[in-house]
Amino acid sequence: MTEEKKTAPNSSVGADAEQSGNYTNPIITDLNCDFNNYSDNISRIQIEMLREMDPTYLRTVSMAELYENVFYSNPPLIDGLLYTGTYLFVGAPKLGKSFFMAQLAYHVSTGTSFWNYSVRKGTVLYLALEDDYQRLQKRLYRMFGTESTDNLFFSVTSKQLGKGLTDQLSSFISKHPDTALVIIDTLQKVREASGESFSYGNDYDIISQLKEFADRHKICLLLVHHTRKQKSDDNFDMISGTNGLLGAADGAFLLHKSKRTSNEAVLEVSGRDQQDQKFHLMRNTETLAWELERADNELWKEPPDPLIEKIAEFITAENSEWVGTAMELVDKIKIETPINAVTKKLNVNASRLLNDYNIIYKNSRTHNGRRIEFHYKSK
Give φ, ψ of 233 to 5 degrees. Answer: -65, -35
Identify whether 131 is part of a domain: yes
Statement to judge: residues 289 and 190 lie in one domain:
yes
Largest separation between any pair of C-alpha atoms in the chain: 76
Element (H, E) at 99: helix 97-110
The pLDDT tens digits of the residues spanning 201-258 come to 889 999 999 999 999 999 999 999 988 766 766 677 777 777 888 899 999 999 999 8
Half-sphere exposure of 162 (CA within 13 A, CB side): 12
> 369: number of CA atoms within 13 Å, CB side?
9
Residue 80 belongs to some domain of the structure: no
- Structural domain of 133: 85-295
Q: What is the pLDDT of residues 50-76, one digit of tens each?
A: 887 888 889 889 999 999 899 888 889
* In contact, 205 and 162? CB cutoff 8 Å: no
For residue 79, tell me if it sits in a domain: no
Same domain flag for 307 and 291: no
Of 240, 267, 295, which residue constitutes the final position of a domain?
295
Which helix (H) or strand (E) element contains residue 41?
helix 35-52
**Residues 245-264 as b or e (16 or more Cβ within 10 Å = b):** bbebbbbbbbbebeeeeeee
Cα atoms in the 13 Å half-sphere on the side-chain side of 36 = 2
Dihedral, 224, 206, 161, 222 alpha carbons, nearest 10: 30
**Cα gap 269→264, rounded to integer Å:** 17
Among the listed ranges 225-229, 292-296, 328-332, which one has the minimum average pLDDT value?
225-229
| Domain co-membership, 261 together with 352 | no
Given 295, 315, 340, which residue is the final one in a domain? 295
Which residue from 206, 200, 208 is spatially nearest to 242, judged by alpha carbons?
Answer: 200
The angle that helices 306-314 and 350-357 make with each other, rounded to 10 degrees, is 50
Instruction: State whether 12 and 98 are in the same domain.
Output: no
135 and 42 within one domain: no
Q: What is the pLDDT of residue 59?
A: 86
Q: How many CB atoms lie within 10 A of CB 298?
A: 9
Question: Residue 20 has what pLDDT?
Answer: 39
CATH of the domain at 114: 3.40.50.300
